A and B are shown apart, each in its own frame.
Chain A
Amino acid sequence: MNALAASTPLSDQVMIQMDSIHKWYGAFHVLKEINLTIQKSERIVICGPSGSGKSTTIRCINRLEEYQRGRIVVDGQELSNDVKQIERIRREVGMVFQHFNLFPHLTVLENCVLAPIWVRKLPRKEAEDIAMGYLERVKIPEQAKKYPGQLSGGQQQRVAIARSLCMNPKIMLFDEPTSALDPEMIKEVLDTMVTLAEDGMTMICVTHEMGFAKTVAHRVIFMDSGEIIEQNTPEEFFTHPQSERTKLFLSQILHH
Chain B
Amino acid sequence: MTEFRVPHPDLPPPASTIGALGWMRRNLFSSPSNIALTALAAYLLWIALPPLLNWTVFKATWSGDTREACQANSGACWVFIRVHFDQFLYGFYPEAQRWRVNLAVLLLILGAAPLFTQIITNAAKVKLGLSLLVGYPIIAFILFKGGLFGLPDIETSRWGGLFLTLVIAGVGMTAALPLGVLLALGRRSKMPAIQTLCITFIEFWRGIPLITVLFMSSVMLPLFLPEGMNFDKLLRALIGVTLFQSAYMAEVVRGGLQAIPKGQIEAAAALGLGYWKAMALIVLPQALKLVIPGIVNTFIALFKDTSLVLIIGLFDLMNIVHNATTNPEWLGFSTEGYVFAAAVYWLFCFSMSRYSQSLEKRLHTGHKR
Contact = CB atoms under 8 A, between A and B. Distances in A.
Range of interface residues on chain B?
Answer: 20 to 34
B123 to A, nearest CB: 9
Given A105-B286, A118-B281, A149-B367, A167 B271 contact: yes
Nearest to B282: A103
A97 B285 contact: no
Interface stretch (A86-94, A189-197, A203-211): A86-94
Main secondary structure of the interface of B (DSSP, over half): helix
B367 A101 contact: no
B192 interface: no
Contact of B270 (A94, A105, A118, A149): A94
Contacts, number: 75
Interface in B188-202: none
Interface string A82-118: 0100011011011101010111110000000011001
A150 B272 contact: no
Contact of A119 (B271, B285, B289): B271
Contacts of A93: 270
Given A90-B271, A164-B271, A149 B281 contact: no
B282 to A, nearest CB: 6
A147 interface: yes
A167 B277 CA distance: 16
A155 interface: no
B361 interface: no
A122 interface: no
Interface of A: 62, 64, 83, 87-88, 90-91, 93-95, 97, 99, 101-105, 114-115, 118-119, 147-150, 160, 163-164, 167
Given A93-B270, A103-B264, 11 more contacts: A64-B266, A64-B269, A90-B269, A97-B266, A101-B266, A101-B267, A103-B282, A104-B366, A105-B285, A114-B281, A149-B369
Interface of B: 261, 263-264, 266-274, 277, 281-282, 285-286, 289, 363, 365-369
